[in-house]
Amino acid sequence: MPEIIMPKMGDAMTEGKVVRWYKAEGDAVAKGEPVLEIETDKVNLDLEAEVTGVLESIEVASGDTVEVGTVLGYVGDGSAVGKKRGAAGKGGPFVKASIEPAASARLANGGQGAPRPTPFAQEGSTADFIRSSPLARKIADDLGVELGKVDGTGPRGRVVAADVRKYAHSADSGTGLTAPIVEPPKGLETREVPLTAMRRTIARRLSESIGPVPHFFLTVDLDVTGLLSLRSQLNDIQPVKTSVNDFVVRAAALSLLGHPLVNASFGENAIHLHGEVNIGVAVATPEGLITPVVRRADTRNVPQIAQEVRDLAERARNRKLKPDEYQGSTFTISNLGMFGIEEFTAIINPPNVAILAVGAAEERAVVIGGNVEVRSRMRVTMSCDHRVVDGAAGAAFLRTFRGYIEQPLRLVV
Amino acid sequence: MAEKTYREAIREAIIEEMDRDDAVLIMGEDIGVYEGTFRITAGLLQKFGPKRVMDTPIAEAGMVGTAVGMAMLGLRPIVEMMTFNFSLVAADQILNHAAKVRYFSGGQVDVPMVIRGPQGAGVQLSAQHSQSFESFYGHFPGLCVVAPSSPGDAKGMLKSAIRGKDPVIFLENASLYGTKGEVPDDPDALEPLAGSRVIREGTDVTIVSYSRMVRLAMKAADQLAESGIEAEVVDLRCIRPLDFGPVLESVRKTHRAVAVQEQWKPFGAAAEIAARITEEVFDDLDAPVVRVTGEDVPMPYARSLELAAVPHEEDVIRAVREVMYLD
């Protein structure tokens, strides 16, 4: 009997959350049809049915988080609907996970609900006609709220959906609901924000990094006057708008070709030198930090890197990245320049051995040949894993990197 | 795929279908020697000759009547209305003949013809030249009425209309002619003459529209997104037959609907949309359907009044906020 199990989407994944079921027990499912939406530590996706049949039981409810391999539900021929079989069992991946974004518009179960009976009959006691929207009545029915008690904020005192929900979550509704509704905060309030899968992952991975990995930090102040001018010229002549960070990615990629120890990982018995230069670019999303990867960055020119980073960032913000787009980096770059940060130290993104923290490009007074001149400068700080990269090795890499940034024509030829 | 204008898309559809089938011909006022008031038929007279590209006198009833006869006997005429306002002169031929011949003949005789042209408001065209006809023609059984909003839909749907067996009222809009979009290169790529489409996904409100107003809805949706309101936009594409499934599915999700049309509120397309939504998903509604329409006056000539007489983005935004009980 085909089981629907929580799939392992990527090496680091140990658990996933059931966001919502598109189908109910007893519904027909077709092969290839999305049955439920799950949330992993990076992206949301739909799980499709591998066979055509009937969803006989749901073992894990919406909102619950389970280990990879847990059985979420059973699809059968319809003869045993509603029979719970338990969520245990680590069977093979019977369900093909669709990497397509969970498309909430594709609700296959096109609203078969029969019209709800109006709660007027249940109110009984009130003689007054209660103005309310059909949806408000439906929600009141679902949550066990007496419509007459709710304050209506719609036209002519109409009770609308928001009114019912607000009442249901308030202390005197007696519905037993305690979770506060998310409303725009007016000033600070003490409250709890449950950890999302993404936030847990960020916490775990970076703690695992800063703990065991012996970090040391090297800072250089770079002259980017020429780089800014080159960027401006490049943006005038070709359609893809490049940012300073796109040049930084290329400079880092080319530098890594000459410093393979910085493009490596620490292993139990060996240092693994990687054969590809895959640069992770840190992107801030509403849920947290994620580093989509520009693969083989040394083979891409600056406009190609710009286009790729923009596409990846867009998909990252919409939680639509595929695993091979956020895994497999060999070096990472984090840029907080757009926030005005001059300089910062970043935590290495395991299993990399280094990370480059890029600050804002600003005009500063510098001394050149005994004279004070105004130049555009940018500070970068490199964090290195001392198990693999010694001080001299890190410094040598930065010297090469400086060469590319301060002679930027070398990045476009 | 290539990016083309709506005008190019219409033009290509006509040329490709005339190349493909000798029975296809086009007639209209000033389409041949003058090359068309909107340049859609430029060069066609030279390419296909006067038997297939016919300049007609200013006689819409005669044009359409002739086309009905041609279609009944096996030709596939395309009639260009310089604007659909002038189709009123041919109303008897369209509504009492083209729309009813198949029915009267018990299905024995079809009228495969396309009446195409621009409709709707422009810049100071005044009351007789600014009207929309989707609700007028959409009312009559026996006609297929379509209003594509993009070049891709325009080309694919015009091809389907020309190849099909039905009399099709093909409603274009002059302000759409210059707009661009992706159009398939394949001359056999068709778009069906039925089917609504969700063109922007959202969760907070459903905005339903067609033709030029779809673009307005999309712009309003972008602005609404800045306030954190995500609107789902549905392009009806075809007025008759009306595929309402996607609209209903959307409203079940968002619980709120706004219908947008260019012309007068009484008895317009938005009334049909609102009635259908109320009939079929009443229990999922948190508010009545709000209609955004033009003002109930003959179109003014003065530009300031003309602008005030048609819907703008702010009107759609206001309607969305009303249906969400904001403000």
Tell whether B228 lies on the interface with A, counting CB pairs under 8 A: no
Cβ atoms of B150 and B135 closer than 8 Å: no
B272 catalytic residue (yes or no):
no
Residue A171 has φ and ψ, to the nearest 5°, of -60, -40
Can you give the pLDDT at residue B45? 97
Give the CA diameter of chain B: 62
Q: Which of A248, A204, A212, A219 is nearest to A388 (CA)?
A: A212
Give the span between the Cα atoms of A179 and A181, in whole angstroms.
6
Q: What is the 3-state secondary structure (H, E, C) of chain A?
A: CCEEECCCCCCCCCEEEEEEECCCCCCEECCCCEEEEEECCCCEEEEECCCCEEEEEECCCCCCEEECCCEEEEEECCCCCCCCCCCCCCCCCCCCEECCCCCCCCCCCCCCCCCCCCCHHHHCCCCCCCCECHHHHHHHHHHCCCHHHCCCCCHHHCECHHHHHHHHCCHHHCCCCCCCCCCCCCCCCCCCCCCCHHHHHHHHHHHHHHCCCCEEEEEEEEECHHHHHHHHHHHHHCCCCCCHHHHHHHHHHHHHHHCHHHCEEECCCCEEECCCCCEEECEEECCEEECCEECCHHHCCHHHHHHHHHHHHHHHHCCCCCHHHHCCCCEEEEECHHHCCCCCCCCCCCCCCEEEEEEEEEEEEEEECCEEEEEEEEEEEEEEECCCCCHHHHHHHHHHHHHHHHCCHHHHC
Q: Is the pTM here over 0.80, yes or no? A: no
Which CATH number goes with the domain that contains A135? 4.10.320.10
Q: Quick check: B281 and A138 CB within 8 A?
A: no
Q: For chain A, how many structural domains are there in total?
A: 3
Mutate to test the interface with A, among B230, B284, B290, B323 (most CBs of A within 10 A): B284
Q: Which of A105, A193, A63, A287 is nearest to B230 (CA)?
A: A105
Q: How far is B216 from chain A (nearest CA, A)?
A: 22
Give the span between the Cα atoms of B237 and B145, in whole angstroms.
9
B129 catalytic residue (yes or no):
yes
CB-CB neighbors (< 8 A) of A153 in chain B: 325
Q: Which of A403, A394, A382 is nearest to A332 (CA)?
A: A382
Give the model confidence (pLDDT) of B192-223 as tens digits.
999 999 999 999 999 999 999 999 999 999 99
Q: Quick check: B203 and A115 CB within 8 A?
A: no
Dihedral (C-alpha) A66, A69, A70, A76: value to the nearest 10 degrees?
140
Q: Quick check: A135 and B285 CB within 8 A?
A: yes
Cα dihedral B298, B301, B302, B303 sign:
positive
Interface of B with A in 278-317 (CB under 8 A): 281-287
Query: Cβ of A157: how many Cβ atoms within 10 Å?
Result: 12
Q: How far is A318 from chain B (nearest CA, A)?
A: 13
Domain final position from A68, A98, A128: A98
User: Considering the domain B2-183 in this protein, what is its CATH number?
Assistant: 3.40.50.970
Can you give the pLDDT at residue B195? 93
Mark whether A246 and A153 lie in a shared domain: no
Can you give the pLDDT at residue B307? 96
Query: Cβ of B48: how many Cβ atoms within 10 Å?
Result: 20
Give the model confidence (pLDDT) of A120-172 as tens digits.
433 333 446 788 999 999 999 888 888 888 989 988 889 999 999 988 887 66
CB-CB neighbors (< 8 A) of B251 in chain A: none
Does B259 have pLDDT greater than 90? yes
Task: Report which DSSP code applies to B183.
Answer: E
ipTM value for the complex? 0.77
Q: Please report which confidence band the pLDDT of residue B6 belongs to, taking 50, 70 and 90 as the band edges.
A: very high
Whether residue B288 is preceded by a cis peptide bond, meaning omega within 30 degrees of 0, is: no
Q: How far is B9 from chain A (nearest CA, A)?
A: 26
Tell whether B178 lies on the interface with A, counting CB pairs under 8 A: no
The alpha-helical segments, DSSP class H, found in chain B are: 6-20, 44-48, 60-72, 91, 101-104, 134-138, 151-163, 212-226, 245-254, 269-281, 303-309, 313-323
Mark whether A133 and A264 lie in a shared domain: no
Task: Report which DSSP code applies to B300.
Answer: P
Give the span between the Cα atoms of A151 and B248, in whole angstroms.
29
Of A104, A107, A115, the CB nearest to B283: A115
Name the class of domain B197-323.
alpha beta
pLDDT one digit per residue (tens) for chain A, 413 residues: 578 888 888 777 888 899 889 888 888 898 888 899 998 877 788 888 888 888 888 888 888 889 888 889 888 887 888 777 765 544 444 344 444 444 333 333 333 333 344 444 333 334 467 889 999 999 998 888 888 889 899 888 899 999 999 888 876 666 666 555 555 445 555 667 777 777 778 888 888 777 888 999 999 999 999 999 999 999 888 888 899 999 999 999 999 999 999 999 988 788 888 989 999 999 888 888 889 999 999 999 999 999 999 999 988 888 888 888 888 999 999 999 989 999 999 999 989 999 999 999 999 999 999 999 999 999 999 999 998 999 999 999 999 999 999 999 999 87
Cβ atoms of A254 and A298 closer than 8 Å: yes
Q: Quick check: A105 and B253 CB within 8 A?
A: yes
Give the span between the Cα atoms of A124 and A295, in whole angstroms.
67
Q: Which domain holds residue A129?
A: 120-173
Domain assignment of residue A184, yes or no: no
Domain final position from A98, A131, A164: A98
Q: Which residue in B17, B29, B60, B80 is the catalytic one?
A: B60
Can you give the pLDDT at residue A68? 87
Strand pairing report for B76-80 and B257-264: unpaired
Does B153 have pLDDT greater than 50? yes
Cβ atoms of B269 and B261 closer than 8 Å: yes
Query: Cβ of A77: how many Cβ atoms within 10 Å?
Result: 12
Instruction: With both helix axes pointing from N to C terminus, report the angle between A391-406 and A244-258 in degrees, rounded to the nearest 10.
Output: 130
Domain assignment of residue A113, yes or no: no
Mark whether A265 and A303 lie in a shared domain: yes
Burial B189-198 (b: 16+ CB within 10 A, else e): ebbebebbbb
**What is the number of CB-based contacts under 8 A between chain A and chain B?**
51
Domain assignment of residue A230, yes or no: yes
Which CATH number goes with the domain that contains A407? 3.30.559.10
Can you give the pLDDT at residue B324? 95
Does B320 have pLDDT greater than 70? yes
Q: Quick check: A160 and B287 CB within 8 A?
A: yes
Q: Where is pLDDT greater, at B128 or A12?
A: B128
Mark whether A142 and A283 lie in a shared domain: no
CB-CB neighbors (< 8 A) of A317 in chain B: none
Dihedral (C-alpha) B62, B65, B66, B67: value to the nearest 10 degrees?
120
Cβ atoms of A282 and A345 closer than 8 Å: no
> How many DSSP H helices and E strands does chain B contain?
12, 14
Query: Which residue in chain B has the smallest CA separation from A136?
Result: B286
Domain spans in chain B, listed from the N-terminal domain onward: 2-183, 197-323
Cβ atoms of B204 and B254 closer than 8 Å: yes
Q: Quick check: A104 and B249 CB within 8 A?
A: no
Can you give the pLDDT at residue A12? 74
Of A134, A154, A160, the CB nearest to B282: A134
Can you give the pLDDT at residue A402? 95
Mark whether A143 and A230 lie in a shared domain: no
Tokens of A240: 């893809």
Three-state SS at B38: coil
Average pLDDT, chain B: 97
Domain final position from A45, A63, A98: A98
Tokens of B118: 């621009």
Q: Quick check: B249 and A160 CB within 8 A?
A: no
Give the span between the Cα atoms of A140 and A175, in whole angstroms.
10
Cα dihedral A17, A20, A21, A22 sign:
negative
Interface of A with B in 187-226 (CB under 8 A): none
Q: Quick check: A107 and B252 CB within 8 A?
A: yes
Mark whether A90 and A232 lie in a shared domain: no
Query: Which residue in chain A has the smallest CA separation from B288?
Result: A133
Can you give the pLDDT at residue A90? 47
Q: Quick check: A136 and B286 CB within 8 A?
A: yes
Tell whether A109 lies on the interface with B, counting CB pairs under 8 A: no
Mark whether A159 and A232 lie in a shared domain: no
Distances in Å between the Cα of B301 and the Cα atoms of B175, B262, B286 are 18, 17, 40
Mark whether A243 and A134 lie in a shared domain: no
Q: Quick check: A115 and B284 CB within 8 A?
A: no
Burial class (CB in 10 A: 0-12, 13-18, 19+), B20: middle
Query: Cβ of B313: how many Cβ atoms within 10 Å?
Result: 17
Three-state SS at B60: helix
Mark whether A141 and A75 lie in a shared domain: no
Can you give the pLDDT at residue A178? 53
Angle at A12 between CA A11 and CA A16, to 5 degrees: 105
Tell whether B249 lies on the interface with A, counting CB pairs under 8 A: yes
Give the span between the Cα atoms of B42 and B15, in whole angstroms.
11
H/E stretch holding B199: strand B197-200
Mark whether A34 and A138 lie in a shared domain: no
Tokens of B30: 């000033």
Burial class (CB in 10 A: 0-12, 13-18, 19+), A112: exposed
